[in-house]
Chains A and B, each alone.
Chain A
Amino acid sequence: MDQGHVSDPARGGFGRRRFLRWLLSFSVVSTAGMIVTPVLGFLVPPKTSGSAAGGKVAVAKLADLPTGQATVVALGSKPALVINTDQGIRAYSAICTHLGCIVAWDGGTGTIVCPCHDGRFSPANGSVISGPPPAPLPALATTVEDGEIFLVAG
């Protein structure tokens, strides 16, 4: 505090009060911002649809999948094998129950084959035909509507 300054407690107090006011406003605004930003962000629907979760996911067109052929599709983040068999559309998890490799369709023999150790599964029910897999492939529910093949998620 030098000579030129009028040492007025009121003015000093006023400066402090101003600072405090500013600090409080900043406090309120920042709190509001901290709360509103995640809440609003959360409410905005994300771009990725994720899985339909409980509903149906369209995975292929019936016209693109003639009898005796199959395709591997993504169901959520998990791969699934969809086969058009004589008994209708069948779908199974494409993760081999032996060591987790991704299985494929062998149209020549009409079996699901795992390329890693030649494990084979039946397209009728996913059961093991031959090779090292210890358990059948989990089956997935399918429906066909208007020429579209749907997998029922979950």
Chain B
Amino acid sequence: MRRDVLRGRFTLVRRAVAFVLPSAALVALVLLAVAGSAGSASAQDPTGSPDPSATAGPAAPPVPPAPTPIVHPSDGSSNTCYDCHLAVNDRQKAISETWKNSIHGAGGIGCADCHGGDPTSDQVTVSMSEEAGYIGTPGRERTVGVCGSCHSDPERMRRYNLPTDQYAKYWRSVHGERLATSRDDRVAICIDCHGSHDVKKVADSTSPVYPVNVPRLCASCHADADRMKPYGIPTDQFDVYQGSVHGVALLTNLDVRAPSCASCHGSHDARPPRDTEVVDVCGKCHTATQALYEESRHAELGPASPKCWTCHGTHDVTQPGVRLFFHEADAPYQCTTCHSASDPSVLRIELDRFENEADRRCDTCHHARSTIYSQVEGIAGALSGAQSAYDTAAARITEAARLGMIVTDADVALSEAKTSLIQAQAAVHTTKLTVISGLATEAESKAVGASDMAGAKIDESVFRRGAMVVVVVLILVNVAALYLVKRRLDRQLHG
């Protein structure tokens, strides 16, 4: 009896296990599938246009992989597309000739490489067939892929020494994100800036992406009020930039070291710099200033601190000067400049408060009755003292030179004073009174030295003129004496 009973119980257990395990596995699989799809769905959530005060970028959608280049027949030399389209009509002829003169035409990148098709056949039905890979004029989003298919391939681009990160960067830009997520066909794609059939090298001064031409290129869309209306972004940047120090340097003086839109916003990854990024963006060129700023108290305050653009503006950067310290009249003082209106314990700089150039002053934040105001006054005073000493010395040297004295030594001393003065002015970014006043004192004493040298020359000139008067008087005495002798002699002669 015992064996049978036992066998019967085990069988029950075995049957239970045989049922439960697979069911549990199935349930687990289903649960996993559900969780997986839910996770990827949340990753599709698009971000809106970024808030410049935001501290960090939101999670970005993954970059779509670069498509492979269009596969099409080729014999390495024929380009029947070009041969036929030259003769089709005027518009096609213009396009064909434009392509021939472009960098792609010179490099043997033919019509089929972007449009597909069979460039070895002169039969339209063959050369423009789907079998041959013909895609016609690709749509906006597809065009990015067509360009990217070659230009993100390091092997292909190695011989031209061209970068290959443009494709990946583009999807990170505001343009790329809107194209990918909102399917916005009006944003800029590759051909809007580089041209399609007329692509030229960036270094070609007639290319729209040549540094001097970049501001106008961006302005062709971004200054168009109608075009920008749906996005609600300003359209005055180009006008403002033209009058700025950077604009004058690049557009008037044709100095390609000056920043264009792309220098600060990026080109393929175009996006306005964030509050956390702006110091590094400006600091790419203004290296010394960045190093000084990072020593300052301002650099420690995070979102509550002024950054470069707070005091110097963005597109309207002008030559800084002593006017940046104080308002001319009393400054209206607003708590919301630094304290968030919704939660006063949160500190952040309200950038709108500094939109007007007249408000980009130290005393917009540091009001006249604050303890730190005396430090601001100290800095302003030190610098103005050094500047006036420098100006006095320069004027004296000019005066000495005007009097005909040689002033090389005073000039050199003035150069030394100028070196210290510029360093003192730059040191404002450290906000440290001891540092700034130390440099200002050094500049002032060097300027006084130069002024003394010029003064010595002026004194010498005055002495020389005095001596000249004495000598002229002596000469006149001599002339008088000789004249008397002459008169006597003449009288003797005639008398």
Residues of A within 8 A of B (CB): 20, 23-24, 26-27, 30-31, 34, 77-79, 95, 99-102, 115-118, 131-132
Contact = CB atoms under 8 A, between A and B. Distances in A.
Contacts of A118: 287-288
Nearest to A132: B257
11 contacts: A20-B481, A23-B477, A23-B484, A31-B474, A34-B471, A77-B412, A99-B422, A101-B418, A102-B415, A115-B288, A116-B423
Contacts of A31: 474, 478
Contacts of B415: 79, 95, 100-102
Contact of B409 (A26, A27, A77, A100): A77
A10 B423 CA distance: 84
Nearest to B410: A77
Contact of A30 (B257, B418, B477): B477
Contacts of A34: 471, 474-475
A102 B477 contact: no
Interface string B256-272: 01000000000000000
A85 B48 CA distance: 56
Given A20-B488, A31-B474, 20 more contacts: A20-B481, A20-B484, A20-B485, A23-B480, A24-B481, A26-B477, A26-B481, A27-B478, A27-B482, A30-B474, A77-B408, A77-B409, A77-B412, A78-B412, A79-B416, A101-B422, A102-B419, A116-B418, A117-B422, A118-B287
A101 B419 contact: yes
A115 B422 CA distance: 8
Given A34-B471, A77-B408, A115 B423 contact: yes
A107 B418 CA distance: 23
Secondary structure call for the A interface: mixed
Most chain B CB atoms below 10 A, which of A34, A100, A131: A100
B426 interface: yes
A31 B477 CA distance: 10
B288 A117 contact: yes
A95 B419 CA distance: 10
A30 B478 contact: yes
A34 B468 CA distance: 11
Secondary structure call for the B interface: helix
Nearest to A20: B484
Nearest to A19: B484
**Which 4 A/B pairs are nearest by Cβ-Cβ distance?**
A118-B288, A101-B419, A116-B422, A23-B481
Contacts of B481: 20, 23-24, 26-27
Contacts of B474: 30-31, 34
A127 B475 CA distance: 58
A132 B258 CA distance: 10
Interface in B404-440: 408-409, 412, 415-416, 418-419, 422-423, 426
Most chain B CB atoms below 10 A, which of A27, A99, A132: A27
A39 B484 CA distance: 29
A99 B408 CA distance: 17
A79 B426 CA distance: 23
B477 A100 contact: no
Nearest to A130: B287
Contacts of B485: 20, 24
Nearest to B419: A101
Contacts of A102: 415-416, 419
A95 B426 CA distance: 19
A31 B482 CA distance: 12
Given A24-B485, A77-B408, A77-B412, A116 B419 contact: yes
Contacts of A131: 287
